[in-house]
Amino acid sequence: MTTKHPLFAVLAEARTCTVCASALPLGPRPLLAAHPESKIVIIGQAPGKSAHESGIPWHDRSGDRLRDWLGVTSEEFYDPKKIAIVPMGFCYPGTGATGDLPPRQECAPLWHPQILPILKSLQLTIYVGAFSFNANLGGAFRTLTESVESYRTMLPGRIVLPHPSPRNGMWVKQRPWFEAELLPALRERVRRVIEK
């Protein structure tokens, strides 16, 4: 794959973005990953503090849980030819009273239209968390839970997941179908896509 693919230029520009630098408590450190051959894209919320400090997206307990939900190894998860990571916000937004602040509103409108349309090999889009759901599918479903429950009609091309934060453990426990039915279907689809 030639390095002249337009995606590489967009990624280089995105990784040096400072559009909302003055609003970021730890400064800008855009975290995203993609490749022209990416087969799956994860559109999450924004990096947490641990991810910001390490420079590795989903480098925290939520990431461990997400990889378990997907049934992938760390090596598979961080192989951009398999999985692209293009969140709603590329930088850590800071912490509020109840957890991390929402993704910065400048980010997705600026970068998603430049990145997502040129990922021509995508076979599965995974929307993770309420901010990703609201921005991309909020008009199609009343609630995030309703969209997660609709996984059978959304697969094979897309699926919505709650945020894998340990804080959402009660949400999962109250919905036994999530682990008993949705996760096996998701893992099967992910495995089929990345092993092609």
CATH number, residue 174: 3.40.470.10
Asked if the model's pLDDT at residue 99 lies above 90, the reply is: no
pLDDT of res. 3: 63
Is 12 contained in some domain?
no
**Least confident span in 99-103, 123-127, 181-185:** 99-103
Q: How many percent of the chain have pLDDT more than 70?
A: 98
If you average pLDDT over every residue of the chain, what do you get? 95
Distances from the Cα of 91 to the Cαs of 52, 87, 126, 138, 193, in angstroms?
Answer: 7, 9, 19, 23, 28
User: pLDDT-derived band of residue 156, with 50, 70 and 90 as boundaries?
Assistant: very high
Is 157 contained in some domain?
yes
pLDDT of res. 96: 84
Tokens of 141: 């479903």
Count the neighbouring beta carbons within 10 Å of the beta carbon of residue 40.
23
Is 158 contained in some domain?
yes
- Give the count of alpha carbons within 13 A of 36, CB side only: 10
Is 19 contained in some domain?
no
Bridging pattern class, strands 124-128 and 158-161: parallel
Is 3 contained in some domain?
no
Mean pLDDT of the region 103-120: 97
Is 92 contained in some domain?
yes
Q: Where are the beta strands (DSSP E) in the chain?
A: 40-43, 83-85, 95-96, 99-100, 124-128, 158-161
Is 20 contained in some domain?
no
User: pLDDT-derived band of residue 140, with 50, 70 and 90 as boundaries?
Assistant: confident
Tokens of 143: 């609630």
Rg value, the chain, Cα: 16
Q: Which amino acid is at 38?
A: S
Q: How many domains does one find in the chain?
A: 1
Q: Where are the beta strands (DSSP E) in 60-163?
A: 83-85, 95-96, 99-100, 124-128, 158-161
**Whole-prediction pTM:** 0.95
pLDDT of res. 2: 52
Q: What is the pLDDT of residues 24-60, one digit of tens each?
A: 999 999 999 999 999 999 999 999 999 999 999 999 9
Domain containing 139 equals 30-194
Asked if the model's pLDDT at residue 65 lies above 60, the reply is: yes
Contact 91, 101 (CB under 8 A): no
Is 105 contained in some domain?
yes
**What whole-number distance in Å separates Cα of residue 131 and Cα of residue 103?**
8
pLDDT of res. 131: 93
User: pLDDT-derived band of residue 126, with 50, 70 and 90 as boundaries?
Assistant: very high
Asked if the model's pLDDT at residue 83 lies above 60, the reply is: yes
